[in-house]
Each structure stands twice: as C-alpha cells, then as structure tokens.
Structure 1
C-alpha cells in the first residue's frame, strides 16, 4: 500500500474517525467539568492517555496528503485549501458570533469555560484568536500555507525548529500550534518520500519501541505528568501514531469498523458540528446526577447530530455549502466531495 494514493485509503478513514470520536469524548469531558456531576476519574484518566496522540494523529494524516496536492500546482492547492478549510472556518466563525451576540453563547450552548464579557471587538478574534473549537481549522489552514511556502526547504528542518520553539514558548495556543506543526510537517516529509512510512513501520524493532513508549504514556498519566501539547510528549505522540497506523492497516477494512470509516470520510462535518450538541447532551445527562450518563449522553449526541447532518447533505446537497465553498457550475452530489482532515 502506498503512503498517499489518490483514492480513499480505508486505514486513514479509520484513524480519522477514531480521532474524531476521541475529540468528541474529550469535549464531553470538558463540558462535564462545568456541571455538578463532573467527570468520573477513570474517564478523565482514559482521556489523558489519548491526549498525546488525538490531534497529532489528525494533522499527521493531513500532512501525508500534501505532496500529491502540491503536485497539481500551487494555485489549485491553495484554492482547494481555501475552499475546504478556510471557507468553513469563516462560515462557522460567523455562526458562532451570531450565537454569541444574540444569546451570549460561548464555549458550547450550555456550559464550558467561565463566561467572559461580550465586546464589540469579538469579530476581530476570527483573525487571531479563533472562537469555540474552530481553532483547529484556523491552524490547519496555516499549516497548509506553511507547507506551500517551504517547498524548497526540507520540512524536517522546520519541524525541528518548531519542536524547539514549542519547548520554550509558555503561551498555550502558540505552543499547541507549534507542536501540531511538527507532526503535520513530518507527514509532509513522508508524503515527499513515498514508501518511507512503509519501510519504517515494517521494522519489528520499531513496533516494540512504539509499544514500550506507549506503555510509558500510561505510566506518565498515572504519576500525573501532563503530556498535552508539550515538547516532552512528542515521542509519546509519535509512538502512538505508529501503533495506530500499524493496527489500522491490519484491520482497517473490517466490517465492524465501518462506522469509524464513515466518520473519517466526513471528519470535517463531524468536527465542526459536534461541539454544540455535545454540550447539550452533557447538560441533559447531568440532570440524572450521574457523571457517566452525562459523558455518554454528550458523546452520543455529538456523534448522532453530526451523522444526521451528513445524511441531510446527501439528501439536499446545497447544505454542503456550509462546509465547502461552492464552485461555479458545480453542485456537490454527496458529502464525500469534501476533503477530510
């Protein structure tokens, strides 16, 4: 199997789908922190175990597809990313601003972080401080622009510099950006060298090292070491990504994983839409007084509503224009016309 063929790759869809499910679960825990039930300690610990790999895996997979996209020319490349990443970021930022100004909704429909005063300058945040969970689209578009700008430089040099900077920068959002840029550029480098990913992961000792380091991830969580968006977590993220790819390549076509492949094919829709219904699900579940019920209700609500939106897009294709800029004389026929992350 090649590293980045033009057709859909089932193991990639499985991994994207897995990442999205973990993101929804993570956000359910976030919203649960603002309700009386809170999050069960086991759920919190499990979330911490997956924290080092969840988003690095997603950007690494995006990086793996950069070289084929660049081969089509910089205008086509940049236009595609603007249409399928920047455009939905702007559309949903506008929606988030409407919710904020009309109803004071910030950080989910119910709950989230401590409310902050709403000012007339909120629209400017779209340019430098993304609202809600939309930071990922903002960062991802910048990653694509950086990949275009450094075509004459090895991505490994920039990745190394970003990793050093991530170890020195204290501000969270900047550190997160730099840390994820490292794994995006690693994916870009792999896309420029077809077959490298296969050769690396085919070595048995790589499997054992990844397994050992991943066990260390669990140990770090047990002792309370934070491994989220820090330079220290880079080897743990790399090991987790390696194991995830090895596993997905072996079982990615299994029938039981069809739901994950479905989520992975429409990862953009699931990522954007889940935020608000997840917050509502947590609030409804919290009414039972049971933290597990709140988490389950939030996670299920986020996934079900996102699935419903995907189905609605297939029934009424123009709805896809909320997620991808319309092209002249082109009407989307199904949700798969969008790029996955």
Structure 2
C-alpha cells in the first residue's frame, strides 16, 4: 500500500486529546495524594474513565504511524530512529527526573532513593511508557519485516492472546510488561495496513471487532478499545469539520505530546508544591487550573527555547557532524 503523500493531521488531534487527559490524570492524582480536598467519589470515577483508554490510545497511534514509517524507511531504519529518540529519552529523562525527585523528596508525595533512580532496568514513574514502547518497537522490527497481511493479522491475534495471559510465557519480567500494551500497537498497524477495507466497512467491522474482543478476551480490553475508537472518531470528525482554535490547539499539543509527557509531572507537581507548601493554597479549583496550565505551558516553553537555541539533545541523541 502506498502511503499518502500528505501527512494526516487527525493522529495529532488524537494525541492532543490523549496528552491532555494524561496531564489531567497526573495533576489530579498528585493533588489527591497530597491531601488537597478533591471529592473522592468523583476523582475515582474520572480517574478510572481516563486510565481505561488514554495510554492504549498512544500505543494505537504509535502502531498506526509505525506502519507508514516502515513503508518509507524499513524496519531497521525505524528501530535506529527509536534508539536515538525513545530509548535515549528514557535513560536521560529517567535520570534527570529521578535526581530532581531525590533532591526535592522533602516536599513531594514520595521518598525516592538514589538506587531506585539508577535501576533503569526497572522503569518507574511515567517513564514506563517509553520503556515499554521501545520494547514494542523492537518486537515490531522482528515481526513486521515480513510485509504480509497474514503476518499483520496473526500478530494482532497473538497480541490478544498475550494480553489475556501476559505472564503465561516464560519470558521474564521485562517482556511481561509488554503484554497489556502490544495489542493496541498491533491494532494500529492492522488498521493502517487494511485501511481501505476498514474505511469502507467501518459501519459493521468495528462493532463486530469490539464484540469479538469482549467475547474472546476481557471487558477491560473492550472498554479500552471503545475509548480509543471514540477518540479516534472524534479526531477524524474534528479534522474534517473543525476550523477553529480547538482543532489547531489539539494539533499543536499532539505534535508536542512527547516533550509534554517528559516534563509535565515536574512542572505540574512544582506549582502544586509552591501553592500548597509556600503559599498555603488548598483550593482544589486553583490547584487544578494552575497545575494543568503549568504542566502544559512549561514543556511548550522549553520546546520553543530548544528550537531557538538548538537544544536538540533534549529530545533525541545528538547527531554529531564530522569535518
């Protein structure tokens, strides 16, 4: 299948929605754990709703975009790109974030030891996503080098079975972490490869697939899939019919979703510490608004500065020029 010459923007809209939910979820959890008076019932309901599908969404979009990347570059070249970005960022930002947490442990909700920061083989905090995502890319390099629809369909089926029993294979702790997430990546690849069929038959294909997931797998996977499909459908609609600042803002947030993901916890928890510990603010609305604003704006500012001053090392392994 030939990839479209014009880059699709609806995946950026989906990522923009997803990263906004990620930021809200972490800000709200930080407030709850810090004793800011959130309504526990509503917090648990919203938290459960968000966490049912927001990270599956990112794995799905990653799989969808991965298919077109390997069509252009090949699997090995894409894996090299992910070494320079995903793996590199996992190591660098896990260390940076962890060292700051150790230094600020007196003011934060947790008490982190230096040995925990250095144990990079055991992902911690929100950096588990980069750790698992790179493992998924490594597995995909082995699987999708065979550009066959049967291989893609088989990979999706195997990933569903793996989801059902992620610890059933004697594959060790590291790959067990992949089990709950590979299925969404494989689904994204499958939709990208069979895009014409899915587009023409979406009216019955998607409901049948969702029902099949419920019958042969688990309700958790079903609800996650329903959430992902809902966000993707809304993203497609906004891309086709939206012409206002909402669409533009979501595209922008989606394009910067990685810097936001890397920095949002530090900036969001930082403003919470300032407001709670030093200013004495306990108002939950103030904390939510300030936390969301800082968690989104600080990473955007850092990214803009990195573009202006060529701090490319913040987001990828620096490419050194010879001669």
The one-character-per-residue Cα deviations of 1:3-32 (angstroms, maximum 9, x if unpaired) are 964543221111101100100111112211
Who is 1:315 aligned against?
Answer: 308
Q: TM-score, normalised by structure 1?
A: 0.77
Partner of 1:93, secondary structure, is helix
Q: Point out the more displaced range, 190-199 or 26-35.
A: 190-199
Task: Give runs of aligned pairs for residues 52-63 of structure 1, distance below 5 A.
Answer: 52-63=52-63
Q: Does 1:288 align with 2:278?
A: no
Whether contact under 8 Å (2:36, 2:283) holds in the other structure is yes
Structure 1: which 5+ runs fail to align?
A: 213-229, 331-341
Who is 1:85 aligned against?
Answer: 86
Select which of 266, 271, 277 maps to 2:261. Answer: 271
Who is 1:220 aligned against?
Answer: none
Who is 1:129 aligned against?
Answer: 122
Partner of 1:159, secondary structure, is helix
Whether contact under 8 Å (1:207, 1:243) holds in the other structure is no
When the two structures are aligned, how many residues end up with a matched partner? 301
Whether contact under 8 Å (1:12, 1:61) holds in the other structure is yes
Q: Does 1:246 align with 2:233?
A: yes
The one-character-per-residue Cα deviations of 1:239-268 (angstroms, maximum 9, x if unpaired) are 122122222111124322211110101111
1:328 to partner: Cα distance: 3.9
Task: Give runs of aligned pairs for residues 177-196 of structure 1, distance below 5 A.
Answer: 177-196=178-197
Q: TM-score, normalised by structure 2?
A: 0.81
Whether contact under 8 Å (1:285, 1:293) holds in the other structure is no
Distance 1:37 1:57 in 2: 29
Q: Point out the more displaced range, 272-281 or 242-251.
A: 242-251
Q: Does 1:147 align with 2:140?
A: yes
Whether contact under 8 Å (1:70, 1:148) holds in the other structure is no
Distance 2:100 2:295 in 1: 18
* Residues 1:110 and 1:15: Cα distance change in structure 2 (over 3 Å): farther
Distance 1:323 1:300 in 2: 22
* Residues 1:80 and 1:325: Cα distance change in structure 2 (over 3 Å): same
1:310 to partner: Cα distance: 2.1
The one-character-per-residue Cα deviations of 1:107-131 (angstroms, maximum 9, x if unpaired) are xx9433x424443x642x21x2123
Distance 1:276 1:312 in 2: 17
Distance 2:54 2:3 in 1: 21
Distance 1:4 1:55 in 2: 26
RMSD across aligned positions (CA)? 3.2
Structure 2: which 5+ runs fail to align?
A: 212-216
Distance 2:125 2:164 in 1: 28
Distance 1:3 1:145 in 2: 24
Distance 1:81 1:91 in 2: 14
Who is 2:214 aligned against?
Answer: none
Who is 1:21 aligned against?
Answer: 20
Whether contact under 8 Å (2:163, 2:181) holds in the other structure is no
Q: Point out the more displaced range, 267-276 or 245-254.
A: 245-254
1:277 to partner: Cα distance: 0.7
1:192 to partner: Cα distance: 2.7
1:57 to partner: Cα distance: 0.7
1:39 to partner: Cα distance: 2.6
The one-character-per-residue Cα deviations of 1:49-96 (angstroms, maximum 9, x if unpaired) are 222110111110010022222232233111111112111112212313
Whether contact under 8 Å (1:13, 1:265) holds in the other structure is yes
Q: Which has the higher helix share?
A: 2
* Residues 1:247 and 1:35: Cα distance change in structure 2 (over 3 Å): same
Partner of 2:281, secondary structure, is coil
Who is 2:224 aligned against?
Answer: 237
Distance 1:135 1:306 in 2: 19
* Residues 1:235 and 1:175: Cα distance change in structure 2 (over 3 Å): farther
